[in-house]
Structure 1
Amino acid sequence: MLTHISKDDLFHDYYKQWITIYKEGAIRRVTMSKYLMTHQWLIKLIPDLRLNEMTRITYQQLLNDYALEHERQTTMDFHHQLKGAILDAVDEGYIERDPTRKAIIKGKTPRVKKIKYLNQFELHTLLTQLNLSPQINWHWFILLVAKTGMRFSEALALTPADFDFAHQSLSISKTWDYKMNGGFLPTKNQSSVRKIQLDWQTVIQFSELLRNLPEDQPIFVTPGDKIYNSTINSLLARLCEKSNIPVISIHGLRHTHASLLLFSGVSLASVARRLGHSSMTTTQKTYIHIIHELENQDVDIIMRSLSGLS
């Protein structure tokens, strides 16, 4: 229920009302949860701060306190989630001047994030352990993610109608809401809507598997059943241990897929499109270690080529 806003209101109360009015129903549920988490941090860090007390100093102190427990990028996201509400409060006269002007974004030193992926031999070893039965099971799910690099939620949302066997392609146009109550959701971004080419063996396997299944129903999920990411990751971990290879997650299979493509000489642009990244920059940042390794290989090739000219 909406209440009258005054300069003396607690800032976190104003912010909660602001996200209810402007964000609820207009953004994805996962994004809304981030705004709600920001609200919880406001209650923790500035429980007694009132709207008319929000100055550049108090706002900077809020960012500094938040940054003590978060990396710089996370603090930047926190700042962006607050800024729209604050600028509206300035426009309405609840706050005298824009306190976000010239804000300094700090944060903890990012942890070194080592991406886990398998090499070609390890992936082949893993796939030989799969129990690919005549009916759809989670082993088929693992195989398809390994061969396409799809996101977990994208693979869960697949229906028989998404497969175009004649053109050996798979359409990605939706995700499955496995974190909440199930059902189809839009993709992560517009770039995530894409077609992924399939190899002939996968086409033959799935054309047989999907025969007589309802065209518009998920093939891996029964509507009403709760699916947990951890359940599939546990299955994959057991298969990795049985194969005596490094344990990776389902998301690690996505990294494995991209890594193998890059090492095979597939262009960065093609890998980005296949993964559904919004830009090549995302792909470049994620796989920078592989790109550096490939650059070192290129240097060796260049040097051998030049030495042959003498």
Structure 2
Amino acid sequence: MAQEVKLHQYFYQWMQLYKQNAVRPVTYRKYEMTHRQLISLVPDLQLSDLSRLTYQQLLNDYAENHERQTVMDFHRHVKSALIDALEEDMLDRDPTRKAIIKGVQQRQHKAKYLNQHEMQSLLNVLNLDEGVNWDYFILLISKTGLRFAEALALTPKDFDFAHQYLNVGRTWDYKSRQGGFAPTKNKSSVRKVQLDWQTVIQFSQLTKRLPEDQPIFIQGKVYNDTINHYLERLCKQADIPVISVHGLRHTHASLLLYAGVSIASVARRLGHADMTTTQQTYLHIIQELENQDNDKIMKHLASLV
């Protein structure tokens, strides 16, 4: 039977017990956000009052000003806690069963990736004559497909210019107040990324007089929005679709796929845990390439008379 404890109180105890120090700090902060939403939406809702109806109403209230994917993440957090409550006999039945996920219509998002011509136009407007700046940061992600936090954590000693590759082994915790180095997203994210000779020359010159063990691009607090707004201005200057910094990573991967690089190689370069992630993320490109391959196959077979 449900005990007299409020939903947000149980969720707080649950996330401290099961999630604190078990997930990355950035992930734990998402659970904290869910907890704050529960306090805001249902400050007095008891576990004993939870039913499919009250839970669905909670989701509907949350969905009024959140996109469907965000509602799905919220539901996943709360459902995980309530399943444990059910196993502990704090609930009689699962109130999340057959829950319907709603959400407001998706906002107009930035372009997910650029084509090769647009990417070249962006690179053409970069200012690479003034030492370390965000233009070099944008160039590096465009050439390597690194995640935002991975690129922030790079130090001069992470570059192996002699062998033309970059060692990726940590991230920069830019979301916390104090910042600092943090682990990579997963074990597969620890990798060596091959560099082209032009990038090697550019960054060997750039890092020549910089402290070897200090992040190249960190000078005080860094905000993702600040870099995205700067990149937006560059995109408008280049007269191309506005793209986010993460979109540069997508652009890097998509251009490699269009160039005929295997999915396995792209997955390793991006630091994906497995090829499934790569296939799901770039399904539209892979399907387009498969259609092109089918055309080639048919032309080849038709020539065998």
Same fold (TM over 0.5): yes
The amino acid of 2:201's aligned partner reads I
Q: Select between 104-113 and 259-268 the one with higher mean Cα deviation.
A: 104-113
**TM-score normalised by the chain length of structure 2:** 0.87
2:191 matched residue in structure 1: 194
Alignment partner, residue 247 of structure 2: 252
- 2:159·2:165 contact (CA, 8 Å) conserved in 1? yes
TM-score by length of 1: 0.85
Match of 2:229 among 226, 234, 238: 234
Distance in 2 (CA, whole Å) between partners of 1:243 and 1:294 is 28
CA–CA distance in 1 between the matches of 2:111 and 2:284? 9
What RMSD, in angstroms, separates the aligned Cα atoms of the two structures?
Answer: 2.7
Distance 1:285 1:88 in 2: 30
Residue 265 of structure 1: CA displacement?
0.2
Offset of 1:92 from its aligned partner? Answer: 4.4
Out of 13, 35, 50, the residue aligned to residue 54 of structure 1 is 50
Name structure 2 gaps, 5 residues minimum.
Answer: none
* Matched AA of 1:281: T
Report which stretch shifted further, 247-256 or 154-163.
Answer: 247-256
Q: CA deviation at 1:288?
A: 1.9
Where does residue 31 of structure 2 map in the other structure? 35
Describe the superposition over 1:156-203 as per-residue Cα deviations: whole angstroms up to 9, x where unpaired.
Answer: 110112111222111111111222222111112222221110011211
Cα offsets for 1:28-87 (capped at 9, x unmatched)? 222122212222332344333222333455445544554565566544433332244334
Q: Within 5 Å, which residues of 2 pair with 1:15-30? A: 15-30=11-26
Is the CA contact (8 Å cut-off) linking 1:173 and 1:187 kept in structure 2?
yes
- What is the deviation of 1:280? 1.9
2:153 paired residue among 148, 157, 160: 157
Which residue number in structure 2 is paired with residue 3 of structure 1? none
The CA distance in 1 between the partners of 2:301 and 2:116, in whole Å, is 31
Residue identity opposite 2:47 in structure 1: L
Quick check: 1:169–1:195 contact (8 Å CA) kept in 2? yes
What are the within-5 Å matches in structure 2 for residues 88-103 of structure 1? 88-93=84-89, 95-100=90-95, 102-103=97-98
Is 1:296 the counterpart of 2:294? The answer is: no
- Aligned in 2, Cα 1:226/1:114: closer, same or farther, shift over 3 Å? closer
Superposed displacement of residue 211, structure 1: 1.8
What's the counterpart of residue 127 of structure 2?
A: 131
Question: How many residues in Structure 1 have an aligned counterpart in Structure 2?
Answer: 302
Q: 2:304 is matched with which residue?
A: 309
Q: Distance in 1 between matches of 2:216 and 2:146?
A: 15
Q: Which amino acid aligns with 1:213?
A: L
Provide the residue aligned with 1:269 in structure 2.
264
- Give structure 1 stretches of 5+ with no counterpart: 1-5
Residues in 2 aligned to 1:114 and 1:246: alpha-carbon distance in whole angstroms: 8
Kept in 1, the 8 Å contact 2:65–2:104? The answer is no
CA contact (8 A) 1:87 1:98 kept: no
Alpha-carbon offset, residue 91 of structure 1: 4.7
Residue by residue over 1:247-289, the C-alpha shift from the partner in whole angstroms, topping out at 9 and shown as x without a partner, is: 2222221111111101000011111111112222222222222
Measured in 2, the distance between the counterparts of 1:293 and 1:205 equals 34
For residues 197-248 of structure 1, what are the alpha-carbon distances to aligned partners after superposition, in whole Å with 9 as ceiling and x for unaligned? 00112112222221232221001112xx111222222332232222222222
Note closer, same or farther for the CA distance 1:202–1:104 as it changes in structure 2 (3 Å cut).
same
Instruction: Give 1:122's aligned residue.
Output: 118
* DSSP-derived class of the 1:218 partner: coil
Q: What letter matches 1:309 in structure 2?
A: L
